Structure 1
Amino acid sequence: MLPFKTLIIIDESSSVAVYRQIADCLIVMITDGVIQPGTFLPSTREMAVLLDKHRNTIVAAYEELITQDWIETLPRVGIRVALDLPLIKPRSFQEGGKNKTYSDPAKFSFRHDIPGPVQHSFPLKRNSIIVNDGFPDADLAPFDSMLREYRKLMQGSRLKTLMSLKDFGGTQALKNSTVNFLNDSRGLNISTDNLLITRGAQMAIYLAAAMILKPGDHVLVSDPSYYIADEVFKQLGANLIRIPVDEHGIDIEGVENALKSTKISLLYIIPHHHHPTTVTMSQLRRTRLLELIRSYQLPVIEDDYDYDFHYNNSPVLPLASSAHNSNVLYIGSFTKLLAPSCRIGYLIGAANFIIQATNLKRLIDLRGDTMMEEALSVIINNGELDRHIKKSKKVYNERCDQTSLMVANQLSHAVDFTKPQGGLALWLKFKAEYPLGDIISKARSAGLLFAGTAYYEGEDQKHNGMRFGFASLKESEMQRAVEILRKITI
């Protein structure tokens, strides 16, 4: 008999059940050839004595192996390893099970015009630095508090209810919390009838645009603009009309001229920390834009992706907080407050619009992440989110100051930039003698990757700029990133 006591190693501290550990060890011995097909195993009583375990544990292990077809019971004879071992499970319908079921490309007609992210075919060095286009630092997020609430929900009586809720635009708890949060922080005056919870702001942009646009419609966007939003509008069949952006925001005269000459179906705008340039629209232009919105009954998507991070003075209230005759659809996200993987955003609009947008969302997402939504609602209600915003805003303000100083001292020969009033990134505009494509390629070779800035590469080189996300970088990482840029531009 094999020395099963030696061969079957059991870790009593493991989270894996003991019977599963025994079953897994026996499977390994079978597949490694230590136990041959047709070999009889000790009875459950014998194995229990050999391993010094309760017989029920061995019974459970053997039942697991029987279920997976590794062993079989022969009445009045014993338990043996199966002759026909389940080496491929589930069994393939392909003869011999040798050919991969999706080895050939699809031959039916499908869309090939949907852009994807730029793929970089190079190995990252172990100590490489990745600079994103403005993400929060996940190390600062109140995950301990959220996980504590998550665990409470997993152990509580509401678990089954939360798991089976029908989607009505988010859990009621988070909708209530979000309405209070937005009314208090952004000067809105909304109820839950005006709110749809989404999986991030990107879903909100898509839903809002899909509710409005038809193929051939015209959309006003800034120049430059948030690349992925532009792609949404184009995929919906819209034509983009680009309006320049300067240090005061989008050119309102250009907006007005477009409205006078063309039937415009939608305006997409980021007045607060414009993406990608980070500029904030002046109050004079905001006032004039609101007049145009009311006069032309112009549908507007206002993307306010990082409202809460304004450093030197109070943030400017969104367009949605002013009189706009329900034409402004306001979009934001908790993602920028917490971490990129926390995909919870929101869409604010007139009640009749939100009803239909919720119906559209249900076609692609039957229910949101109800557990995460409930946990988030708790940290909003108990003040944890507000405390996190105050804490992280102080950290990001310091990082903004540090990064701006480094760039000004070491890269003034190569870039022009204006320190932003807030947000999580700088907009670095490289001088003509430093083409962005070359900068990114050389930086990549030196171990510095810019994730997201490829939006401003490619055919449209006129901006020659990139977003330098500072919020998620420690000071040493900022120093190395700026030093690499300095070396490749001197």
Structure 2
Amino acid sequence: MLPFKTLIKIDKSLKLPVYQQIANCLIGLIQEGILKPGLFLPGSRLLALQLELHRKTVIAAYEELISQDWLVAVPRKGVMVAANLPVIRPRSFRKTVSAYDGEAAFSFHTIPTVAIPAKPVFTHTPLVVNDGFPDARLAPLGAWVRECRSVIESPRYFKLLMYGSPTGNEALRREMQTYLGNTRGLSITADHVMITRGAQMAIYLAAAMIIKKDDYIIVGSPNYFFADLCFEQLGARLLHVPVDEEGIDVDAIEQLCASKKIKLLYLITHHHHPTTVTLSAARRMKLLAIIRKYNLPVIEDDYDYDFHYSSAPILPLASADHGGNVIYIGSFTKSLGLSIRIGFMIAPANFIAGAASLRRLMDLGGDNLSEQALANLLADGTIERHLKKSNKVYHERRDLLCDLLQSRLGDAVQFTVPTGGMAIWLRFSRKISLKKLSEKARAMGLQITSGEQYHYGTTSQNAIRFGFASLNNKEIAEVVGILEKLVR
């Protein structure tokens, strides 16, 4: 039997529940090739005895991994590692090294250092179905105002009024190191963190560091349209790979990597935009092997990781052994629900330094006031409490919307209940013109998209992202009522 007491490290001082720490460690052992597909794990009683924990804690960890498709429960035999995962050559039991140690394994543009001085859609329509935004009415506005006032009244605020670092506020970067370690399993330091004005800036900076004119990059089909526009503006040739119910087609990615020089892969592993699907565990494992084999630079856009309802989220690719090739991007704009543009980029330190030089060409420094206030809210637990509350509310709204759509619109629409996020990918019958539906809805006091941004070539998805998080229960019922009148 493997020395699980040595392999599974538990730190009860962390905010992350112990069962989740066990689950994350087991995922790491599978990804390292130490636990092979088809291998039966020790019984919950035996593992609990080895780890000196309560048996229910181990059972909870096993159930979590079963729900994420890493493990399979076999009647009368026990729990085994899912057989459909790729086989990986086992590695030694040495201490895990951060995937971000050392320099980036891929090439990127070198940006000249720029010397800087030492100092320095509104709408009148009552109801709006957006792309999937948070409810600003739930935002911790009082706490935000309090922290901003505290920063402004601080004796050191005059220093914050000067130009900040292009990598972002130092206090926030330190807090992000702890926050992302606890929530996403990232082993990083502040040198691996860059604070940006929203995730979109991070996407552009990362892509601009890597892409040259006529370079091939891989994106999903359909894909986040603002990312596509960004890559096209940089002169890239987009290779669209299908996205199905398990996420992006990893086999197709491998074929493209074998036949062409691919400079970048862009993907959304959780709650893909626009379809809301999550990349399966099996595909993640295979994709990590492809990334390491081809030294493939990857932008992992994880814009609303904090919102999961059915189970705890699968850890991002960035938390695994990717050889320093994954650039991880996220945003607090979705979490807070305020018009505060704070995003972040996680990458090897030398890539962050290069991206900071590029950012100086367009933005000499970050927003010290907002970033310091956010650092304080992370430190005192306000953000964690807000996310717990929001998750509960958005979960209820998702369930209500799904029930109403199914009972009142019937065959006119199709959808899969998303495991998280803030929108449903709502597909309409081909008999329904979304353009006409949108026009008629506006006349009835409802603004919805016509779905034109989801057209690819001559193919129309005839679908929209139905953002439910920003609508309360009464508003959701009103919206579905209007749609029912229009489609019936």
Q: TM-score range by the shorter chain?
A: 0.7 to 0.9
Checking the alignment, whether the CA contact within 8 Å between 2:139 and 2:386 is kept in structure 1 is yes
State the TM-score, normalized to the length of structure 1: 0.73
CA displacement, residues 244-263 of structure 1 (integer Å, 9 cap, x when unaligned): 11111111111111112221
Q: Note the C-alpha offset of 1:219.
A: 1.1
Q: Distance in 1 between matches of 2:437 and 2:221?
A: 22
Quickly say closer, same or farther: Cα 1:452–1:436, change in 2 above 3 A: closer
1:350 maps to 2:348: yes
Tell me what 2:472 maps to.
474
Q: Which amino acid aligns with 2:210?
A: I
Tell me what 2:308 maps to.
310
Q: Which amino acid aligns with 2:176?
A: T
1:190 maps to 2:188: yes
Q: Distance in 2 between matches of 1:345 and 1:206?
A: 12
Tell me what 1:288 maps to.
286
Which residues in structure 2 correspond to 1:369-380 (within 5 Å)? 369-380=367-378
Checking the alignment, whether the CA contact within 8 Å between 2:247 and 2:278 is kept in structure 1 is yes
Tell me what 2:99 maps to.
none
Which residues in structure 2 correspond to 1:25-174 (within 5 Å)? 124-125=124-125, 128-174=126-172
SS in 1 for 2:411: coil
State the TM-score, normalized to the length of structure 2: 0.73
Q: Distance in 2 between matches of 1:459 and 1:484?
A: 31
CA displacement, residues 133-176 of structure 1 (integer Å, 9 cap, x when unaligned): 11111111111111111111212211110000432411111101
Q: Note the C-alpha offset of 1:482.
A: 1.0
Quickly say closer, same or farther: Cα 1:371–1:314, change in 2 above 3 A: same
Q: Distance in 2 between matches of 1:433 and 1:440?
A: 14
Match of 1:240 among 235, 238, 241: 238
Q: Distance in 1 between matches of 2:317 and 2:473?
A: 35
SS in 2 for 1:336: helix
Tell me what 2:392 maps to.
394
Q: Note the C-alpha offset of 1:266.
A: 0.5
Q: Distance in 1 between matches of 2:218 and 2:169?
A: 34
Q: Distance in 1 between matches of 2:326 and 2:463?
A: 29
Query: Is there any run of 5+ residues in structure 2 with no aligned partner, and where?
Result: 1-120
Q: Tell me how many residue pairs correspond in the alignment.
A: 368
CA displacement, residues 365-384 of structure 1 (integer Å, 9 cap, x when unaligned): 11111101011100100011
Tell me what 2:438 maps to.
440
Q: Distance in 1 between matches of 2:456 and 2:433?
A: 11
Match of 1:297 among 272, 295, 298: 295
Q: Distance in 1 between matches of 2:220 and 2:440?
A: 29
Q: Note the C-alpha offset of 1:452.
A: 8.8
CA displacement, residues 104-144 of structure 1 (integer Å, 9 cap, x when unaligned): xxxxxxxxxxxxxxx99xx844xx21111111111111111
Tell me what 1:263 maps to.
261
Q: Distance in 2 between matches of 1:210 and 1:387?
A: 36
Q: Note the C-alpha offset of 1:435.
A: 2.8
Quickly say closer, same or farther: Cα 1:467–1:488, change in 2 above 3 A: same
CA displacement, residues 205-262 of structure 1 (integer Å, 9 cap, x when unaligned): 0000000001101110001000000000000001111011111111111111111222
Q: Distance in 2 between matches of 1:453 and 1:143?
A: 33
Q: Distance in 2 between matches of 1:451 and 1:156?
A: 45
Q: Which amino acid aligns with 2:476?
A: M
Moved more, 440-449 or 399-408: 440-449
Tell me what 2:202 maps to.
204
Checking the alignment, whether the CA contact within 8 Å between 1:132 and 1:452 is kept in structure 2 is no
SS in 1 for 2:214: coil
SS in 1 for 2:146: helix
Tell me what 1:178 maps to.
176
Q: Distance in 2 between matches of 1:146 and 1:453?
A: 35
Query: Is there any run of 5+ residues in structure 1 with no aligned partner, and where?
Result: 1-118
Checking the alignment, whether the CA contact within 8 Å between 2:224 and 2:274 is kept in structure 1 is yes
CA displacement, residues 49-91 of structure 1 (integer Å, 9 cap, x when unaligned): xxxxxxxxxxxxxxxxxxxxxxxxxxxxxxxxxxxxxxxxxxx
Q: Which amino acid aligns with 2:397?
A: R
SS in 2 for 1:185: helix
Q: Distance in 2 between matches of 1:193 and 1:183?
A: 14
Q: Note the C-alpha offset of 1:459.
A: 5.9
CA displacement, residues 427-476 of structure 1 (integer Å, 9 cap, x when unaligned): 00112111322222222222211259542258654211110000010111
Checking the alignment, whether the CA contact within 8 Å between 1:130 and 1:451 is kept in structure 2 is no
Q: Which amino acid aligns with 2:317?
A: L
Q: Distance in 1 between matches of 2:349 and 2:450?
A: 35
Checking the alignment, whether the CA contact within 8 Å between 1:167 and 1:362 is kept in structure 2 is no
Q: Which amino acid aligns with 2:221?
A: D
Q: Note the C-alpha offset of 1:181.
A: 0.4
Q: Note the C-alpha offset of 1:410.
A: 1.3
Q: Note the C-alpha offset of 1:340.
A: 4.8
Match of 1:251 among 246, 249, 252: 249
Q: Distance in 1 between matches of 2:211 and 2:414?
A: 37
Q: Distance in 2 between matches of 1:451 and 1:366?
A: 36
Q: Distance in 2 between matches of 1:446 and 1:454?
A: 21
Q: Which amino acid aligns with 1:465?
A: A
Quickly say closer, same or farther: Cα 1:480–1:457, change in 2 above 3 A: farther
Checking the alignment, whether the CA contact within 8 Å between 1:177 and 1:380 is kept in structure 2 is yes
Q: Distance in 1 between matches of 2:433 and 2:318?
A: 38
Which residues in structure 2 correspond to 1:331-350 (within 5 Å)? 331-350=329-348
Q: Distance in 1 between matches of 2:272 and 2:195?
A: 23
Specify the structure having the higher radius of gyration (Cα): 1
Checking the alignment, whether the CA contact within 8 Å between 2:163 and 2:364 is kept in structure 1 is no
Quickly say closer, same or farther: Cα 1:451–1:379, change in 2 above 3 A: farther
Tell me what 2:216 maps to.
218
Q: Which amino acid aligns with 1:375?
A: A
Match of 2:463 among 433, 446, 465: 465
Checking the alignment, whether the CA contact within 8 Å between 1:207 and 1:360 is kept in structure 2 is yes
Q: Distance in 2 between matches of 1:377 and 1:175?
A: 8
Q: Distance in 2 between matches of 1:305 and 1:451?
A: 21
Tell me what 2:483 maps to.
485
Checking the alignment, whether the CA contact within 8 Å between 2:164 and 2:368 is kept in structure 1 is no
SS in 2 for 1:337: helix
Q: Which amino acid aligns with 2:214?
A: G
